[in-house]
């Protein structure tokens, strides 16, 4: 099985303008597809912007709303899958969500952030209740978490036990927590034996300063590709053969003793 070439779009887009963010995404998808990528991962709440405050309810839309249809169209046109973050409206509730659209424009997975960070998110969003959301792309089992979720090792381990080989983590990682991008994410990849694509916003936005440093970490804990602090499109490869060999050599998952961990639940 050939590697899955994966592109990471480190960008804050144009906060408050879905139309402009679709344009940014369309251009990035074209560049990624030309470079041979089959998957493009965008940051948390990329469709609308993160620090949009009172505009959240106005910008929120259903999982099959106009933003989703626009992303599906560009996926099919460029022949590339896209994971993008957006505020999802479901009746009276709003979720911090991320949706994966396949290279033919088909919706493959929709995940709602389960661990909300800080007063801003807790004011506007309802926490999701489904810990593991997955889809398959080119023979790779893909899972989705969002930002703060990955900082809980239980979340990542749940994905490992469910067979996730590539964990996509759109994020809005802000100063002074850059150690998460630098250190925590590679450790998560190693301890749960998977690839982790951690894709951040960048620069000032409202009261926040996003730190960039998006990365694709491998199951051996090494970073395959890393962005800097500015807007950037970086590409790395997810190798199923290497993942299988790493899991065979690393004893973490098979040496677990679940009977001792009941108190964690």
**Token pair of 220 as six digits:** 């051996």
| Contact between residue 252 and residue 154 where contact means Cβ atoms under 8 Å apart | no
Is 84 inside a domain boundary? Answer: yes
- Going by pLDDT thresholds of 50, 70 and 90, the confidence category of residue 263 is confident
Structural domain span for residue 55: 4-255
Is 263 inside a domain boundary? Answer: no
User: Known catalytic residue: 44?
Assistant: yes
Is 163 inside a domain boundary? Answer: yes
Is 260 inside a domain boundary? Answer: no
Q: Is the pLDDT of residue 64 over 80?
A: yes
Query: What is the average pLDDT across 103-131?
Result: 97
* From 61, 113, 121, 215, the catalytic residue: 113
- Classify residue 89 as left (phi > 0), alpha (psi -120 to 50) or beta: beta
* From 44, 61, 121, 205, the catalytic residue: 44
Query: Based on the structure, what is the number of domains in the chain?
Result: 1
Query: What is the average pLDDT across 47-65?
Result: 97
Query: What is the average pLDDT across 184-191?
Result: 98
**What value does the mean pLDDT of the chain take?**
97
Which residue(s) pair with 39 in the sheet? 6, 81
Q: Could you give the CA distance from residue 226 to residue 241 in angstroms, rounded to a whole number?
A: 22
Q: Is the pLDDT of residue 155 over 80?
A: yes
pLDDT at residue 265, as a whole number: 73
Q: Could you give the CA distance from residue 41 to residue 233 in angstroms, rounded to a whole number?
A: 10
Q: Could you give the CA distance from residue 217 to residue 238 in angstroms, rounded to a whole number?
A: 9
pLDDT at residue 1, as a whole number: 85
User: Known catalytic residue: 147?
Assistant: yes
CATH code at 72?
Answer: 3.60.110.10
| Contact between residue 27 and residue 231 where contact means Cβ atoms under 8 Å apart | no
Query: Do you find a cis peptide bond into 186, omega within 30 degrees of 0?
Result: no
* From 147, 151, 205, 215, the catalytic residue: 147
Dihedral sign of CA atoms 249, 131, 147, 68 in order: positive
Q: Is the pLDDT of residue 264 over 90?
A: no
Is 265 inside a domain boundary? Answer: no
- Going by pLDDT thresholds of 50, 70 and 90, the confidence category of residue 262 is confident
Is 112 inside a domain boundary? Answer: yes
pLDDT in tens, 199-246: 999 999 999 999 999 999 999 999 999 999 999 999 999 999 999 999
Please give the helix or strand (H or E) that residue 223 lies within, else none. Answer: strand 223-226
**Token pair of 61 as six digits:** 């839309």
Q: Cβ of 209: how many Cβ atoms within 10 Å? A: 13
DSSP 42: -
User: Known catalytic residue: 123?
Assistant: no
pTM: 0.98
């Amino acid at each position: 099985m050939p590697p899955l070439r994966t592109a990471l779009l480190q960008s804050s887009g144009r906060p408050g303008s879905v139309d402009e963010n679709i344009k940014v995404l369309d251009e990035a998808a074209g560049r990624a597809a030309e470079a041979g990528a089959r998957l493009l991962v965008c940051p948390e709440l990329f469709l609308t912007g993160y620090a949009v405050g009172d505009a959240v309810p106005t910008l929120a839309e259903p999982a099959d709303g106009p933003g989703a249809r626009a992303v599906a169209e560009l996926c099919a046109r460029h022949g590339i899958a896209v994971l993008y973050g957006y505020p999802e409206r479901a009746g009276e509730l709003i979720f911090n969500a991320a949706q994966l659209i396949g290279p033919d424009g088909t919706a493959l997975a929709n995940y709602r952030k389960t661990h909300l960070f800080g007063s801003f998110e807790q004011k506007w969003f309802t926490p999701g209740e489904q810990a593991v959301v997955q889809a398959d792309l080119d023979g790779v089992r893909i899972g989705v978490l969002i930002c703060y979720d990955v900082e809980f090792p239980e979340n990542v381990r749940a994905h490992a036990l469910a067979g996730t080989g590539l964990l996509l983590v759109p994020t809005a990682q802000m100063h002074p927590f850059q150690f998460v991008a630098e250190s925590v994410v590679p450790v998560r990849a190693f301890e749960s034996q998977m690839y982790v694509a951690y894709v951040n916003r960048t620069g000032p936005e409202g009261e926040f300063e996003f730190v960039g440093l998006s990365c694709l970490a491998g199951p051996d804990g090494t970073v395959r590709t890393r962005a800097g602090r500015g807007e950037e499109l970086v590409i790395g490869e997810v190798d199923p053969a290497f993942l299988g060999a790493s899991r065979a050599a690393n004893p973490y998952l098979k040496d677990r003793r679940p009977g001792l961990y009941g108190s964690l639940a």
